[in-house]
C-alpha cells in the first residue's frame, strides 16, 4: 500500500482524527489528506466524517488494500476478482522481474494442482501466489512448499480449525481416530484415512544450476466455501468452524511464510509440529515406483524418509496416502 495511505490508516486506528491534525502529523497538505481519504474510500474503507474528524468505521473484507492493511511483512498485493490461475499470472510477473508480490484472485477459472490436476476455485476461497527471489539453489525450493503448508495450517488453527499437514503439500482436517480405526475395510488394500483436504500448495520455480531466479508458491484454501460444491473429500474453514475474514487469514499466511523462509532452518521443525504423516503407515507413488512403509521423518529440503522394513527410502517427490493403522 502507498506509504502515506498506510500512515493515514495507522493514525485513524487510534481514533477519529481531524483533517488538519492528520495533515500536520503526516506533514502533508490538507488537500493531500482529503485525496488519500477518498482513495481509501474508493478501495472500500468506510471512513466517516464526524465532528471529531475522520473516523475509520470498517475495513473491506478482502481486496488489495484490505490485505496490505493487515500485512506486517514487506509484500505487495495485486488483487483480481477473477483470474484463470494466480500461479500463471504470478509466473508472468516473476518473469518481468517482480519480487515479494502476492497475486490474489477472488476466484479462479483454471486453477491447477500438481501434475496439471484441476483445483476447484469458487468465490469465497483464498487463492494466492507468492513471488519471491531468494538467494538459494534450486534444490532448496521444496522448503518453500513446506513453509507455505505450515503457514496455512497455523492460520487455520488460529481460525479454530484443527488442521495438519500431509506430506508434502496438503493441509488436511484429520478424521477422528476412532472412525479411522473402526471404519469398514475394502478388500486387502488398506483404504486411505487421510482426512478432508482444506488447502493445497503448488510451487513452481525457474533457475539456473546453482541459483533460483524466482519461486512462485501458489496457495489455495477453501475458506468461505460450501464444501458441497467442492470435490469429494474436501472441506472448508466455513464448514469446519465459521467463515473467516479473508484479508486477515491471508495476511497471517503471508506473514508466517515470510518469517519461516527468512531462515529455512526453521521450516522443518515447524513442519514436524504440524505433520500428520510422521509415524504413519504410508504408500507413496513416486516417479520411480511405489514405496510403502512407516514415515519416520523429513529431511531438508523436504524429503520423506520411509522405513519399508528392509531399508529406509528417501522420497523427494510423489503422492502420499496415509494407510489405516495395522
* Smallest separation, CB 86 to ligand BT5 (Å): 4
Beta bridge partner(s), residue 76:
101
Q: Which is nearer to ligand BT5, 17 or 224 (CB)?
A: 224
Residue whose C-alpha cell is 487463492: 127
Chain positions 158 to 187 lying near ligand BT5, rule: CB under 6 A, are: 169-170
Cis peptide before 151 (omega within 30 of 0): no
Q: What number of chain residues touch ligand BT5 (CB under 6 A)?
A: 28
Q: Does 107 bind ligand BT5 (CB under 6 A)?
A: no
Report the 10 Å Cβ neighbour count for 152: 30
3-class secondary structure, 142: helix
Q: Which is nearer to ligand BT5, 111 or 293 (CB)?
A: 111
Beta bridge partner(s), residue 215:
132, 205
Q: Does 286 bind ligand BT5 (CB under 6 A)?
A: no
* Smallest separation, CB 110 to ligand BT5 (Å): 7
Q: Does 195 bind ligand BT5 (CB under 6 A)?
A: no
- Nearest residue by C-beta to ligand BT5? 200
Q: Does 234 bind ligand BT5 (CB under 6 A)?
A: yes
* Smallest separation, CB 7 to ligand BT5 (Å): 31
Question: How far is residue 48 CA from its own chain's centroid?
Answer: 33
As to burial, measured by CB atoms within 10 angstroms (0-12 exposed, 13-18 middle, 19+ buried), residue 25 is: middle
User: Left (φ > 0), alpha (ψ -120 to 50) or beta: where does 160 sit?
Assistant: left
Q: Does 80 bind ligand BT5 (CB under 6 A)?
A: no
3-class secondary structure, 160: coil
Question: How many residues would you count in the chain?
Answer: 326
Quote the CA–CA distance of 180 and 311 in Å, as a whole number: 27
Q: 303, 316 in Cβ contact below 8 A?
A: yes
Question: By CB under 6 A, which span of 10-18, 58-66, 176-184, 199-207 interacts with ligand BT5?
Answer: 199-207
Q: Could you say which of 17, 78, 129, 141 contacts ligand BT5 (CB under 6 A)?
A: 129
Q: Which is nearer to ligand BT5, 4 or 120 (CB)?
A: 120
Quote the CA–CA distance of 175 and 164 in Å, as a whole number: 11
Q: Which is nearer to ligand BT5, 45 or 62 (CB)?
A: 62
Q: Could you say which of 1, 54, 59, 87 contacts ligand BT5 (CB under 6 A)?
A: 87
Q: Does 231 bind ligand BT5 (CB under 6 A)?
A: yes
Beta bridge partner(s), residue 312:
307
Q: Summarize as ranges the residues that interact with ligand BT5 (CB under 6 A).
A: 85-87, 108, 111-115, 117-120, 127, 129, 169-170, 197, 200-202, 218-220, 222, 230-231, 234
Amino acid at each position: 500500500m502507498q506509504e502515506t495511505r498506510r500512515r493515514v490508516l495507522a493514525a485513524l486506528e487510534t481514533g477519529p482524527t481531524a483533517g488538519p491534525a492528520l495533515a500536520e502529523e503526516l506533514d502533508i497538505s490538507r488537500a493531500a489528506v482529503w485525496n488519500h481519504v477518498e482513495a481509501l474510500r474508493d478501495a472500500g474503507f468506510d471512513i466517516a466524517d464526524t465532528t471529531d474528524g475522520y473516523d475509520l468505521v470498517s475495513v473491506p473484507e478482502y481486496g488489495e488494500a484490505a490485505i496490505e492493511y493487515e500485512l506486517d511483512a514487506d509484500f505487495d498485493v495485486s488483487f483480481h476478482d477473477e483470474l484463470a490461475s494466480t500461479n500463471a499470472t504470478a509466473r508472468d510477473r516473476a518473469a518481468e522481474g517482480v519480487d515479494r508480490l502476492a497475486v490474489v484472485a477472488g476466484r479462479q477459472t483454471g486453477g491447477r494442482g500438481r501434475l496439471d490436476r484441476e483445483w476447484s476455485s469458487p468465490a469465497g476461497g483464498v487463492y494466492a501466489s507468492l513471488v519471491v527471489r531468494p538467494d538459494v539453489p534450486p534444490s532448496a525450493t521444496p522448503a518453500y512448499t513446506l513453509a507455505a503448508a505450515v503457514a496455512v495450517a497455523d492460520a487455520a488453527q488460529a481460525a479454530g480449525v484443527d488442521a495438519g499437514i500431509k506430506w508434502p503439500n496438503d493441509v488436511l482436517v484429520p478424521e477422528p481416530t476412532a472412525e479411522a480405526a473402526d471404519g469398514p475395510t475394502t478388500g486387502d488394500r488398506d483404504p486411505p484415512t487421510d482426512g478432508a483436504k482444506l488447502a493445497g500448495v503448488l510451487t513452481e520455480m525457474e533457475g539456473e544450476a546453482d541459483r533460483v531466479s524466482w519461486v512462485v508458491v501458489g496457495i489455495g484454501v477453501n475458506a468461505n466455501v460450501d464444501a458441497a460444491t467442492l470435490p469429494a473429500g474436501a472441506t472448508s474453514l466455513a464448514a469446519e468452524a465459521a467463515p473467516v475474514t479473508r484479508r486477515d487469514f491471508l495476511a497471517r499466511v503471508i506473514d508466517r511464510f515470510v518469517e519461516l523462509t527468512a531462515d529455512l532452518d526453521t521450516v522443518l521443525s515447524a513442519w514436524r509440529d504440524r505433520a500428520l504423516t510422521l509415524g504413519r503407515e504410508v504408500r507413496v507413488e513416486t516417479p520411480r515406483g511405489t514405496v510403502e512403509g512407516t514415515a519416520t521423518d523429513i529431511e531438508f529440503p523436504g524429503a520423506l524418509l520411509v522405513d519399508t522394513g528392509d531399508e529406509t527410502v528417501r522420497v523427494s517427490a510423489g503422492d502420499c496416502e496415509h494407510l489405516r493403522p495395522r
